[in-house]
Amino acid sequence: MKKFVPVLCLTLLTTLALAQDKKINVIVFGAHPDDCDNDAGGTAILFSKMGHNVKFVSLTNGDAGHQDKGGGELAKIRIAEAKEAGKRFGVEYAVLDNHDGELMPTLENRLKVIREIRKWNADIVIAPRPNDYHPDHRYTGILVQDAAYLVIVPNVAPDIPPLKKNPVFLYSEDGFQKPTPFDPDIAVIIDEVFDQKIYAMAAHESQFFEWLPWISGKLDNVPKDEKNRLKFLADWRANAPNETTLESLKKWYGDSASATKHAEGFEICEYGKQPSDEEIRMLFPMLSK
């Protein structure tokens, strides 16, 4: 796996992290085991390499998204793949036991999200917007929105101490235009870790090499050997920044960011803490020019 982790960079980042007084705690929510990876995997690796703590939480167990398998059998595969992906990303990976394709914005699920955020003592919470093509994605967005603020209310979920402050809640990037186009308030260059992101995502074999190609009608294109699979996945899941993301990159990294090949964008949700630019730089230390 060495090739995915340029040694020099790792050292440098770790040093920076050690220089900091405090670990940053990042929690990413996705609907299915592989969604967090796609949305924030590169950023997660960067945080992790700098010594910060990242957790991925899939709100469903992925027990529906497959052409041949299903139910508990599939869930167990998905959980195992998520554990392996977590190792490759350098993050903790939790898979909650809700049926795939059936996630609803219930009070029960909201409380599960609140508990995850509190137990991770999160500074940053990342989730999809409540507008996306899959209902599970949309309801993940709503559930995480609905956890904002309540994470600091002591009488809510009194068995877990509340956070001291409302975290920054971020939406992960999507291409949807309505009701408003995605607005990348923050954008992170992930070029240096893109290979590692792809390698980590590849742990979700039943997703990226079975189900998603099948549903996209390109199952026959999936290579058999691992090396070509990684290339296939890297081509398919490239994170080329669009125009608005480029603008955000330049804001945070300067003009040199124009050459960025892979980036992940995040929009600040209005329901969490509204950080200043300075606070964003402290929360996203990889943005430092």
Edge-first strand listing for the sheet containing 186-189? 92-95, 53-58, 25-30, 124-127, 168-172, 263-268, 186-189
Interface mask (CB under 8 A) for its own copies, residues 31-70, using x and -?
Answer: ------------------------------x-xxxxxxxx
d(CA 242, CA 133): 19
99 is a contact residue toward its own copies (CB under 8 A): yes
Q: Say which amino acid occupies 120.
A: W
113 is a contact residue toward its own copies (CB under 8 A): no
Write the DSSP string, 4-52. Answer: GS-HHHHHHHHHHHHHSSS--EEEEEESSTTHHHHHHHHHHHHHHHTT-
Which of 11, 15, 20, 180: binder of its own copies (CB under 8 A)? Answer: 180
Q: Is the peptide bond before 179 cis (omega within 30 degrees of 0)?
A: yes
Q: Quick one: tokens of 178?
A: 């309505």
d(CA 185, CA 217): 34
242 is a contact residue toward its own copies (CB under 8 A): no
Closer residue to its own copies, CB minimum distance, 3 or 133 = 133
Closer residue to its own copies, CB minimum distance, 235 or 270 = 270
The stretch among 1-9, 125-133, 199-207, 256-264 that binds its own copies (CB under 8 A) is 125-133
111 is a contact residue toward its own copies (CB under 8 A): yes
Extended strands (E) in 75-208: 92-95, 124-127, 168-172, 186-189
Give the shortest CB-117-to-its own copies separation in angstroms: 14
134 is a contact residue toward its own copies (CB under 8 A): yes
Give the shortest CB-272-to-its own copies separation in angstroms: 8
Count of beta carbons in the 10 Å neighbourhood of residue 228: 11
Interface with its own copies in residues 140-179 (CB under 8 A) = 145-146, 148-150, 152-159, 176-179
Closer residue to its own copies, CB minimum distance, 13 or 186 = 186
Closer residue to its own copies, CB minimum distance, 88 or 118 = 118
Give the shortest CB-231-to-its own copies separation in angstroms: 27
Q: Say which amino acid occupies 79.
A: I
Contact 16, 103 (CB under 8 A): no
Would you tell me which residues interact with its own copies (CB under 8 A)?
61, 63-76, 79, 95, 97, 99-102, 104, 106-108, 110-111, 131-135, 138, 145-146, 148-150, 152-159, 176-180, 215, 270-271
